[in-house]
Structure 1
Amino acid sequence: MRDEVDRAPGSNAPSAGLYRGMRLFTVAFLLLIPTLWPEFASRGPSLAQWLAAAGGVAVFGGCYIRVVSRAIPRSERIHTPWAFAGLVAAGFGLLAVLPDGWIYYLPFYLITALVITHRPYTGLASAAGCLLIVVFAGLLRGVAPVRLGMLALQLSVFAVTLTGIHQLIEFAVTQWETQKASERLATERERQRLSRDLHDLVGRDLVALVMRAEVAARNEAGRRVGEELRHIAALARTTLNNTIAVVEEMRAPDVTAELDEARELLIWAGIDLAVFGVPSAVHRRAAFAWFLRETVTNVVKHSGARTCRVIFGADRLVVEDDGPPGSPVVPGAGLTGLRERLEQAGLQLIVERSRDGGVRVIARLVKGE
C-alpha cells in the first residue's frame, strides 16, 4: 500500500462547481461587516473596545465560514455544532460593541446558517425563533418598532427565498443523479445484450467451424489439405477461446471502472475521495467490483460523511468513511446480499467502526482461494 493519497479530480458533475459557487457566494456576505467600521471608529472607542470588536468579528467570521463550508451541500445534521454555537455567541456578543447597524446584519447571517444546516421546515421554524430574539434585542436597544417590523418582513422573505433556492438546487442535482443512473443502467443493459449476442451468435458459428474443420481433417486423404484444415481448426479454436474470454470480461464488472463511477458519485454528493494503493491482479475479481459499488453507494446514502477512503490491500479492499458515530453497525439488506455474493466468490465481508467513528467495510480474500 502506498502512502500517497489520490484526491478526486474535477468532474463533469454540475453539483461540484455549483456547490463551490454556493459556498463562495454565501461566505461573501461577510463583506458587509467592514461597512460598520467607519461608524464604529467615529465613536472614538478605547483599546479594549477595539480588541473586543476585532476578536468578536474574527470568531464570528471563522465560525460562519466553517458552518458554510461544512453544511453545503446540506445534510441531515449540523457537521460542526461548536462552530454554530460560536457563531451565535459571537454574533450576540458583538451587539455590545458594534454600531446599531449590526442589529440588521446579524439576523441575515444567523438565518443563513439555520437554513443551510437544517431541513426546510426545521430551518424555517428555527429562523422564526431567531427573528423573535433579534426583534426583542432590538427593542431593548431602543430601535424603533417600525424599523424592526420592516426588518422582520425582510428577514421572512429572505428565509423563505433562501430555503426555496436550496430546495430547487437539490431537486436539480437529484434529477441529474437520476439521469446518470439511468444512463449507467442503459449502458449495462447494452453491454449485457452485446455479450449475449456475441456468445450466442459468433460463438455458435465458431463452434460449427471448428467441428467441420476437424471432421474434414480426419477424413481428407490429401496430406497437405488435411494439414491446412488442421491449421484452420486450430485458428478457429483460438478465436473461439478469445471470444469467450472477451464475453466473460464484458459480463463481469471491472473494479477500475467502478472506482471511476464511485469518484463521480462522491463528488456529486460533496464527499472527498481518498484512494490508497492501486488495484492489483487480485482485485480483478468481479466480486471486488460489486463490493466497491455497493459500499460507496451506502456511503453516499447513509453515512453523512465528508471523506470516503478506498484502500487496496494485498488480499483485500477496504471502504471506510468519517461519518458521525452512532448506534452499533447493523448491516442492512444491501450488505447482507453483498455478503452472500462475496462468500460465493470466496471472499469474506467484515463491517466495523472506522478510526473516525464512521463505518469500515472490508472485502477480504479467504485463504486458499
Structure 2
Amino acid sequence: MTRKPEIPGRDREGRGSGVTGRPGDLGALAFHPWLLLAYPPVRELAEGLVRPAAPAALCLALFVALYALSVTLSFRGRRRAATGTLVALVLVTFLLLTAVAEGWFYLAPLMTIACGVVMRDGPVYPVLTALTVALAVAMWWNGSSWENISLSVWGTAAGGLVVSIVLKLFSVIAELHRTREELAHAAVAEERLRFSRDLHDLLGHTLSVMVVKAQVVRRLAPHDAEAAARQAADVEAIGREALTEVRGAITGYRGRGLAAELASARTALADAGISTAVTVPGARPAPELDALLGWAVREGVTNVVRHSGARTCEIRLEGTVLEIRDDGRGPGASTLGNGLRGLAERTAALGGTLETREDGGFLLRVTIP
C-alpha cells in the first residue's frame, strides 16, 4: 500500500511520532544542526581560553545533551519529559552565562529554539518573553555593552519565535490535509446518498406504474387481447424510459421537470382507475424549481398509486406551493418513507418545506419561498 506523505514530526493524529526512524525522529534531526552554535565555546575550550576548563566543559556537554534530548522528546510526543528537560536546559544555560563562562551568550538562541519546539502548543510567547528579559538582565549584570545586549536579545527572541511559528504552520498544514481528506470522504458519502435517493425516486415510481399496467394486462388478457397488447406495449415503453432515466441519473441528471411528470402522472393515475384533476399555470418555473416540482409530483403520485386506495386525486400549483390531495388513506402522516424523506431533503436545500397531513384523505404540500 502506498503511504501518504506526512508532515515531519507529526503522526496522523497530529502528535509526535515515538518510533525510531519515523517522522518524529526526522523532525528532531532537523533541529540538531543548530548545535553548530556551540562551536565557538568548544574552540575556546580547546585553545585554553576558559578557566577553570573542567566545569565549563562539563556544563557545555550537559547543555548540548539537554538540548538534543528536549527536542527529541518533544517530537516523540512525550510532553511532560520534554518540559522537564527544557527546564533543566534553561537552568544550565543561565549557570553557564552567569557563573562559568560569561561570554557564551550566543548559546542563548539554542535555549529559545528548544523552548519554541517543546512549547509550540503551549504558552510559548510569555515564556520566550520571560527568558529574553532574564537574558538581558544577566548580560547587563555582567557588564555587557548595550550593543551586545540588543544583538543577543534579538537573536534569542527571534530563534524561539521563528521555530514556534514554523512548527505551528506545519501543524496547520497537517490539519488542512486531514480536513481535505474528511471533506472528500463526506462528499463521496453525500454523492452515494444522492445517487441512491435518485434511483429510489426514479425506479420506485416507474416500477409502481409498471405493476399497475401489468395488473391491467392481466385483467384484459382473457377478454380483450388487443387492449392487453397495448398495455403491454406501454409496459415495454415505460421500461425503456426507466432505463434512460437510470442512465441519466448516473451522469447527474436530476429529473424530467414538472410538465413531463404531470403527463406521466395522468397516465399512471388513469391506469390505476383514479380520477385526476390538475390545476397548473402554463408558465414554466425556473429550472431548479421545475426539477423539484417534478420530483414532488412523481413522489406524490407514486404514493397515491401505491398506498392510498383513492378514487380521486387533485394536483394544484399556486405560485410556488404544490399540493397533491387524494381521498384515500395515504401512508400515514407521521410516517415518511425513503421517497418522502428524499423529497424533504431536496425541498430544504432550496429553503422550502414539505408537509403531509391526513384530512379526509391525504395531503402532500411542498412550499418554496
Q: TM-score range by the shorter chain?
A: 0.3 to 0.5
Max Rg structure: 2
**TM-score for the superposition, normalised by structure 2:** 0.44
